[in-house]
Structure 1
Amino acid sequence: MLTKRDVNTDEERLRNRAQRLPAIERKAFYETVRREVKDPDTYAVLNWFFICGLHHFYLQKWLRGSINLTVFVLSIVLLATGWQGLGVVMLLGVLVLELGALFRSQLIVQDYNNGIYRRNLARLGVEG
């Protein structure tokens, strides 16, 4: 489980490594990273549509987003075909699971962005 302290420590370590890059590489690094990092507020807004899994797609978690979307569609079908109880239970299950992501959106996206830093440093031959 992600902890704020671990993610912040990781971010600080990665930023320090990026700062030690030569000026030209550092400029290229930050230009690349700027295009790839994700915004926590956008993730949180997309999470308001928890039943669709849009926030998972935003962080390129294709499988989890697809599962979330499939459960949503299946729940709607169940609600429309006389299996309302099961449909409601499925929707509530997704709500409970995704509520945690909503409250931890800042941390989740910060960890995702740390991964972007790490990958881009590795491309430059710097251990992340």
Structure 2
Amino acid sequence: MLKQEEVDAEEELLRKTIRELSDDQRAEFYRQAGKAVKDPDTYAALNWFFITGLHHFYLGRWQWGLVDIGALLVAIWCFLAGLIWAGVGLLVIVYSWELWQLFRSQIIVQDWNNRLYRDLLRRY
């Protein structure tokens, strides 16, 4: 489980490392990072408005996005098959998980961006 203090400490260490790059390297780093850095508000909006897992796709977590879509399709099938409680139960489980992620969207995206920066810094 992500801890805010640890993610913040890693971000500060990464910023220090970035500041130590030469001007040209730093400019190139930010050019590359600017294309891939993610916004926590976009992640949260995708999570809030769509139960289909689009926020997972936004961070490139395809497997979790597909799990969300699959769970939604199974819940719909349960409703159509008359298994109302099974469908409701599945939706409650998925919604609870997604709600937890919504409330933690800032730290989830901050950690994702830290990983991006760490991977980019390995090139320098």
Q: TM-score range by the shorter chain?
A: over 0.9
2:44 corresponds to: 44
CA-based RMSD of the aligned residues comes to: 0.9
Tell me the secondary structure at the aligned position of residue 48 of structure 1. Answer: helix
Amino acid at match of 1:123: R
2:86 corresponds to: 86
Which structure 1 residue ranges, 5 or more long, are not aligned?
Answer: none
2:20 corresponds to: 20
Tell me the secondary structure at the aligned position of residue 106 of structure 1. Answer: helix
Equivalent residues in 2 for 1:1-128 (5 A)? Answer: 1-124=1-124
Which structure 2 residue ranges, 5 or more long, are not aligned?
Answer: none
- Report Cα offsets for 1:76-116 as digits up to 9, x if no partner: 11112211110000000001111110000000000000001
8 Å CA contact 1:51, 1:91 repeated in 2: no
Runs of at least 4 residues of structure 1 off by over 4 A?
Answer: none
Amino acid at match of 1:25: Q
Q: Percent identity?
A: 46
- TM-score, normalising length from structure 2? 0.97
In structure 2, how many angstroms separate the alpha carbons of the residues matched to 1:80 and 1:37?
A: 41
| Number of residue pairs the alignment of both structures matches | 124
- Report Cα offsets for 1:41-60 as digits up to 9, x if no partner: 00000001452011111000
Amino acid at match of 2:119: R
